């Protein structure tokens, strides 16, 4: 098996400044994903899941979140979107402190989960406002496919929180909801009339990765440590596949 938590290969476009709405939607949507990926990495460190790589995932994700937030503030095409980005920045400061202020603990994990969802909500609001401002089919598909990235990391986060027995209500219910949302959105993406042959091929790869990820989430026979490692690995693989898909929709 490949090592868990392999560092995400971010497309070259992620390193460039925002110049159009599709790119802005992609990057705001990626902030949603990073909110969940950072919590996932925090929990993996606490669970002792491939700690060196999990630390690098956390550090890389924090740096990327910071950089993209600056770009989004600078690009914001309306006052409402800029105000949302400023609210996101304020909540991010609290979240960042929870992630790195102290070594991971079950008590700290409860705070991390709460703040990860606060940051997620504001990043999602920014993404939706950008999609509305764009008013295009491509913008909707960038948002929808980008949200799949977030769900992949959210499912892994919730799984790890259950494994570590973090004091958070209805973790199983939230995980089940995320699974249903991922399945429904994948169905909508597959049915999109604007899909190119390349997009259809990449979506087929996502379907395969989703099968592996579901198997990891459902596994029962392996030890807790092995199950957590499998979830960490498969969540990264499907994330990489979805990054490709989002990039293709961004280019439509």
What pLDDT score does 132 carry?
98
Structure confidence by residue, pLDDT tens digits, 59-107: 999 999 999 999 999 999 999 999 999 999 999 999 999 999 999 999 9
Asked if residue 225 has pLDDT above 70, the reply is yes
Asked if residue 2 has pLDDT above 50, the reply is no
**Which DSSP string corresponds to 121-161?**
HHHHHHHHHHHHHH-SHHHHHHHHHHHHHHHHHHHHHHHHH
What pLDDT score does 17 carry?
86
Mean pLDDT on 3-16: 54
Q: Where are the domains of the chain?
A: 20-250
What are the CB-based long-range contacts (under 8 Å, 24+) for 74-80? 74/17, 74/18, 75/17, 75/18, 75/24, 77/21, 77/24, 77/130, 77/133, 78/129, 78/133, 80/129
Structure confidence by residue, pLDDT tens digits, 195-217: 999 999 999 999 999 999 999 99
Asked if residue 4 has pLDDT above 50, the reply is no
């Amino acid at each position: 098996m490949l090592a868990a938590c392999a560092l995400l290969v971010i497309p070259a476009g992620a390193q460039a400044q925002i110049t159009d709405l599709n790119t802005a939607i992609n990057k705001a949507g990626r902030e949603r994903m990073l909110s969940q990926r950072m919590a996932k990495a925090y929990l993996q460190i606490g669970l002792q899941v491939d700690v060196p790589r999990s630390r690098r995932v956390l550090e890389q994700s924090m740096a990327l979140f910071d950089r993209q937030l600056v770009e989004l503030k600078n690009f914001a095409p309306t006052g409402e979107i800029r105000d949302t980005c400023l609210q996101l920045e304020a909540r991010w400061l609290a979240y960042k402190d929870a992630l790195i202020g102290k070594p991971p603990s079950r008590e700290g994990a409860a705070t991390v989960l709460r703040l990860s969802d606060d940051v997620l909500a504001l990043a999602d609001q920014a993404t939706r406002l950008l999609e509305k401002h764009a008013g295009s089919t491509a913008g909707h598909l960038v948002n929808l496919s980008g949200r799949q990235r977030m769900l992949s990391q959210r499912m892994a986060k919730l799984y790890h929180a259950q494994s570590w027995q973090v004091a958070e209500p209805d973790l199983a219910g939230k995980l089940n909801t995320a699974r249903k949302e991922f399945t429904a959105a994948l169905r909508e993406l597959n049915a999109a009339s604007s899909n190119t042959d390349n997009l259809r091929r990449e979506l087929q790869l996502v379907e395969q990765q989703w099968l592996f990820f579901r198997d990891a989430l459902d596994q029962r026979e392996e030890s807790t440590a092995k199950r957590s490692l499998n979830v960490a690995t498969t969540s990264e693989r499907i994330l990489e596949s979805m990054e490709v898909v989002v990039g293709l929709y961004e280019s439509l």
